[in-house]
């Protein structure tokens, strides 16, 4: 499967990693489910009797993983173990003797965690997501642990969620919903604007960014984009590529759709916000650390930023995907964001559709099946 990574900012020097992200062209195959059954007599003997440990496992995905593993023939001779715990350097003992470990976006596979896993017998790491910023790839390479991901599952889901955040913030439907349930039908404070004719700036035009551009064009928006490489699919939707400086000046709405690298961390910061139009709206459905949250809070306080829709947050680990109702939020920035009526935070749910869950499960099981049968790991992250 020919894939290109979503790209943004000056990180052309990192193009070896860039090539392994989401499909960038409209004719790129989004999903690849191969039958890894080896031809009899000419393939190495498959691995048998291994333990496969799933961290951050939720009820909504466990049953499908088990069913697909059974269909793939890997459940018969191997053991699938599901942990509700996140993977951190403090929970690796759960994966004792697990040759394969499967993790999700808020697990932490840093150097310490990887070394502990390796000492406990882990020899392969599988990601139930596209991003791999939570993995110390250099240490994984040093230990000989392949890192295998799900390169794409439903780019439509994330692009549509970004649009939902944009429209909800604009028309304030979340506030209207709460009011009308209390029989308050006044319109004061619910004024929005026509999205038609507005300028939307998109940072990162991989598959998700290109689809969001298509949605915005459907609303009648002018769409500007920044990426280190132009996407023909995005161009076909009428997207105009510009510099970041030019985007900050023109965009009424800025939406982030790029991966997190050291070079893209805090692309939205105090300096970039100062160059944006007064009253800009910011949407982030990619990675929390793309935004300097302190600068975001300051921009909201001064009305430089009119609204923010965040499906991700820097420091979300330990909060998102868990029920914290009734507890005190210790993260001051997260607590501060909750006080703003013009901020919407969703718990990293942009991917969360039936289609996406099915594709994540299928590709994950395919990846594991490839490892067990000693077939090529097509979705391995190349370091």
Q: Which of 214, 287, 314, 362 is catalytic?
A: 287
| Residues 256/283, Cβ–Cβ less than 8 Å | yes
- Whether 245 is a known active-site residue: answer no
For residue 344, give Cα distances in angstroms to 26, 46, 165, 319, 376.
Answer: 31, 48, 7, 16, 42
Q: Is 365 helix (H, G, I), strand (E, B) or coil?
A: helix
Chain mean position to CA 227: 18
- How remote is the C-alpha of 349 from its chain's centroid? 9
Mapped onto helix, strand or coil, the DSSP state of residue 292 is coil
- Is 348 a known active-site residue? yes
User: Active-site residue among 160, 233, 314, 316?
Assistant: 316
**How many whole angstroms separate alpha carbon 92 and alpha carbon 26?**
40
348 contacts 105 by C-beta, under 8 angstroms: yes
DSSP 61-76: HHHHHHHHHHHHT-TT
Residue position matching structure tokens 């596209």: 130
State the catalytic residue, choosing from 348, 354, 362, 380: 348
Query: Which residues are 280's β-sheet partners?
Result: 305
d(CA 125, CA 133): 14
Is 61 labeled as catalytic in the residue annotation?
no
Which element (helix H / strand E) includes 26? none
CA distance 238 to 225: 10
Torsion on CA atoms 272, 273, 277, 283, rounded to nearest 10: 100
Which active-site residues does the annotation give?
287, 316, 348
């Amino acid at each position: 499967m020919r894939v290109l990574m979503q790209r943004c900012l000056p990180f052309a020097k990192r193009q070896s990693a860039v090539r392994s992200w989401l499909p960038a062209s409209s004719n790129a195959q989004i999903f690849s489910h191969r039958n890894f059954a080896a031809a009899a007599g000419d393939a190495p003997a498959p691995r048998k009797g291994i333990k496969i440990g799933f961290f951050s496992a939720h009820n909504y995905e466990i049953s499908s993983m088990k069913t697909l593993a059974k269909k793939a023939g890997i459940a018969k001779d191997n053991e699938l173990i599901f942990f509700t715990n996140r993977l951190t350097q403090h929970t690796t003992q759960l994966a004792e003797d697990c040759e394969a470990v499967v993790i999700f976006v808020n697990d932490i596979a840093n150097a310490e965690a990887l070394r502990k896993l390796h000492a406990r017998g882990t020899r392969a790491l599988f990601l139930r997501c596209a991003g791999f910023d939570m993995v110390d790839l250099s240490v994984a390479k040093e230990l000989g642990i392949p890192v295998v991901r799900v390169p794409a599952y439903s780019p439509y889901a994330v692009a549509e969620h970004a649009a939902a955040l944009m429209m909800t913030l604009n028309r304030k439907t979340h506030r209207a919903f709460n009011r009308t349930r209390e029989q308050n039908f006044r319109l004061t404070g619910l004024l929005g604007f026509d999205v038609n004719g507005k300028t939307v700036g998109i940072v990162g035009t991989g598959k998700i960014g290109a689809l969001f551009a298509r949605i915005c064009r459907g609303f009648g928006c002018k769409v500007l984009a920044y990426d280190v490489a132009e996407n023909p699919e995005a161009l076909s939707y009428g997207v105009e590529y510009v510099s970041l400086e030019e985007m900050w000046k023109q965009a009424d709405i800025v939406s982030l759709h790029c991966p997190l690298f050291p070079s893209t961390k805090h692309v939205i910061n105090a300096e970039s916000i100062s160059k944006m139009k007064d009253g800009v709206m910011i949407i982030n459905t990619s990675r929390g650390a793309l935004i300097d949250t302190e600068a975001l809070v300051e921009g909201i306080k001064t009305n430089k930023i009119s609204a923010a829709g965040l499906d991700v947050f820097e420091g979300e680990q330990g909060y998102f995907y868990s029920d914290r109702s009734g507890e005190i939020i210790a993260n001051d920035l997260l607590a501060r964001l909750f006080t703003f009526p013009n901020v919407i935070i969703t718990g990293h749910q942009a991917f969360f559709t039936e289609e996406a869950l099915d594709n994540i499960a299928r590709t994950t099981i395919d990846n594991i099946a490839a490892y067990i049968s000693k077939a090529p790991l097509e979705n391995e992250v190349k370091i």
